[in-house]
Amino acid sequence: QVQLIESEGGLVQAGGSLRLSCVASGWNTDSIIRMGWYRQVPGKERELVGMIDKNGRQNYVDAVADSVKGRFTVSRANVKNTWWLQMNNVKPEDTAVYYCHAEGFERNYEGEDDEVDYWGQGTRVTVSS
């Protein structure tokens, strides 16, 4: 069973930095094509804050929230089942629940690859002013 496990978020002061991590388990890492992060605040749609492919290249650049460009960075470890969201110069409006996300393939019982995507359970980040 595939699971995406996020690190604890927490409270950070405005102007500070925070790094979140995500670890995928139960999934062949060679089958993970893209990995990244979204966030959501109550009453608003979930928004993309960063996505990279398995080679570390940015994906979906145009869909990334303008408010985080230049401040948030997604990167991955050499072991491709782990990736991070580095949040710099955080602002109170960055307060949200952050979700890691991954897209890729899984082999089905017929031996064919199905496109799949998975989400982490969400971790709350609060930025104080």
Place of tokens 């398995």: 54
Q: What pLDDT is stored for residue 32 in this prediction?
A: 94
Q: What pLDDT is stored for residue 78 in this prediction?
A: 79
Q: Report how many helices (DSSP H) and strands (DSSP E) the chain contains, helices first.
A: 0, 10
For residues 108-125, give the mean pLDDT: 95
As a whole number of angstroms, the distance between CA 3 and CA 23 comes to 8
pLDDT band at 118 (very low <50, low <70, confident <90, very high): very high
Nearest CA to 57 out of 39, 71, 36 is that of 36
User: How confident is the model over 17-55, as pLDDT tens digits?
Assistant: 999 999 999 998 889 999 999 999 999 999 999 999 999
pLDDT band at 13 (very low <50, low <70, confident <90, very high): very high
As a whole number of angstroms, the distance between CA 58 and CA 15 comes to 24
* Separation in Å, CA 89 to CA 13, 18, 118: 9, 9, 28
Expressed in percent and rounded to 5, the helix, strand and coil fractions of the chain are 10, 55, 35
User: How confident is the model over 57-69, as pLDDT tens digits?
Assistant: 999 999 999 999 9
